[in-house]
Amino acid sequence: MRMDLKAMLYSQTQAKLAQIAQALQAAELWSEQTPSAVAMASTAPFACDLMPLEQWLQFILLPRMQTLIETGAPLPTQIAIAPMAEHVWQDMPQRQALIGVLNELDMLLNESR
């Protein structure tokens, strides 16, 4: 039974990651150019010192979460991406769909404890 729950969580998380990628593309925030190695090595939360949030989502969050799923590693159980997105994009109503999906990911993983 426990493996079924884990598989379901991975499947649901995978679906949310795909929705985040689609929402980034729909909002025209998808980048063809990878951030610099220095930016990718940032230790600041959300790499906010060296890249915009949309690049962090695309180049750090999505690949790292994908790797966790593919390797069967534990997924984070305390995550709060949507509040950061709401702060960064507070005056951008066109980003609300993306913020909504991020909120769904937060809730999914936080409830998986």
CA distance 113 to 74: 11
pTM here? 0.93
Tell me what percent of the residues of the chain surpass a pLDDT of 70: 96
- pLDDT tens-digit map of 11-47: 999 999 999 999 999 999 999 999 999 999 999 999 9
Q: Where are the domains of the chain?
A: 2-110
Query: Which CATH number is associated with domain 2-110?
Result: 1.20.1440.40
pLDDT digits (tens, 9 = 90+) for 76-111: 999 999 999 999 999 998 899 999 999 999 999 998
- Contact indicator for 50, 30 with CB cutoff of 8 Å: no
d(CA 105, CA 107): 5
